[in-house]
Amino acid sequence: MIESGVSLGIESSPDALLRSVEKYLAQGYRRIKCKFKPGFDIDYLAAVRREFGSIMLMADANSVYTLADVPLFREMDDLGLLMVEQTLASDDIVDHRHLQAAISTPVCLDESIDSVDDARRAIELGSCRIINIKVARVGGLTEARRIQAFAAQHSVGCWCGGMVDAGVARGHNLVAASLPNYLYPNDIPSSDRYYADDIVTPSAYIDGHAQITLSERPSMGFEADPGVIERHTVAKWVFGGNRT
Ligand SMILES: [Mg+2]
């Protein structure tokens, strides 16, 4: 079983965000991640905390803040967030170290970590306490495995992030997230989070505990569905030809 969370975009008002959170909690997701940016940050997150109490709540800034915003992050410590993700620029490993030293909320790095060497530098500096491993971002399962193992040796927990993945990528993410040291719910949502028809069979759905059951089949555990792929194909190139 893999535990899933859901990642929610920035809404036009705190009320709109509350409605979105309510919808996904009703579907069973127990960890809510809210994107945030200046002007759409602490008030939005505080509203979610007030309305929904002790849910697993975290926030992802996609690199839009700087060290000048440390006072804001100190205030956000009071919200009891599970983590704040990628608060500063992706190459600001040193500044993330200063931020992590200044706040109690764990800093999670996403775009800053493309390889196990990036993970080593970030962990040695103390720039994060958590790493979001995206299999596609780090170049595949081998590097994802290296990062997971290195992080585990240094007591830095991981979880698996997502990128609007269709079923083939989701299958690989599920396999990665089944490894030890994936300690937090993953951004591996149900197939129907983004797609009416997934391109694999069977589709992946969360149960009432926001968990996806791992397939017993070898490899990623799902088969690509040629019928669905054909139905959604808008262009096709054929390479090669008959041998003479
Ligand atoms: Mg992120």
Sole residue written with tokens 């720039």: 127
What is the Å distance from ligand 1's center to 227 Cα?
33
- Find the angle CA(138)-CA(144)-CA(147) to the nearest 5 degrees: 100
All domains of the chain in start order, with CATH: 2-232 (3.20.20.120)
Contact yes or no for 61/37 (Cβ under 8 A): yes
Catalytic, 23? Answer no
CA distances from 127 to 59, 65, 165 (A): 17, 15, 28
Half-sphere exposure of 224 (CA within 13 A, CB side): 7
- Selecting among 23, 33, 134, 236, the annotated active-site residue is 134
User: What is the rounded distance in angstroms from the CA atom of residue 172 to the CA atom of residue 18?
Assistant: 32
Distance 53 CA to ligand 1 centre (A): 23
37 in catalytic set: no
Q: Distance from the CA of 230 to the center of ligand 1, in angstroms?
A: 32
Rounded distance between C-alpha atoms, residue 49 and residue 40, angstroms: 15
Question: Half-sphere exposure (CA, 13 Å, Cβ side) for 139?
Answer: 9
Distance 86 CA to ligand 1 centre (A): 6
Cα-based angle 135, 206, 115 (whole degrees, multiple of 5): 10
* Separation CA 85–CA 183 (nearest Å): 15
pLDDT in tens, the chain (244 residues): 899 999 999 999 999 999 999 999 999 898 999 999 999 999 999 999 999 999 999 999 999 999 999 999 999 999 999 999 999 999 999 999 999 999 999 999 999 999 999 999 999 999 999 999 999 999 999 999 999 999 999 999 999 999 888 899 999 999 999 999 999 999 998 888 888 889 988 888 888 888 998 888 888 888 899 999 999 999 999 888 776 6
